[in-house]
Structure 1
Amino acid sequence: MINPAMIFRLKSSWEKFTASHPKFPMFLQAAVNNNVLREGTILEINITTPEGQNISTNLKINPEDLELIEDLKNMTR
């Protein structure tokens, strides 16, 4: 069962995050609006530390991922 207090905490954390990084939600919205998050799309994530260390990974979106994306979209409405 989902803890309602945790949902409110996540909502507050997300609001702080988006206030600090306003381009990120716009990027996600553009991905949804342009239908680029579909089966077979490759999502790549790169991280660079202040010291210059890099780490990256990628994943190919599958039908189960699309279900999660749809659930998250519905949750935010």
Structure 2
Amino acid sequence: MGMNPAIMMKLMQRFNIFRTQHPKFQAFIGSVTQGAIREGTVIEIKVTDPEGGEYISNIKLTREDIETVDMLKNIRE
């Protein structure tokens, strides 16, 4: 199954909007991927909705996860 070029273009546009609206996020991700991402690293995500409800989850990275991250980093090359 191939990728739909129109959807890919729309996704790229959305990503650019996201980067403009949240400029610190890309810098944060860049800092984290410069050494913190290795097997055993725990990534925790906390979401707070407008009413104050909180949702928290975490994952502990495996060797396979690191391989996936490395593949994603190399997409732009």
Q: Same-fold call, TM > 0.5?
A: yes
Runs of 4+ with deviation above 3 angstroms: none
Question: TM-score with structure 1 length normalisation?
Answer: 0.89
| Unaligned stretches of 5+ residues in structure 2 | none
C-alpha deviation, 1:66, in angstroms: 1.1
Indicate the percent of aligned positions where both proteins have the same amino acid: 37
C-alpha deviation, 1:6, in angstroms: 2.3
Cα-Cα RMSD: 1.2
| Unaligned stretches of 5+ residues in structure 1 | none
C-alpha deviation, 1:72, in angstroms: 1.2
Residue of structure 2 in register with 1:24 after alignment:
25
Residue of structure 1 in register with 2:6 after alignment:
5
Report the count of equivalent residues. Answer: 76
Question: TM-score with structure 2 length normalisation?
Answer: 0.89
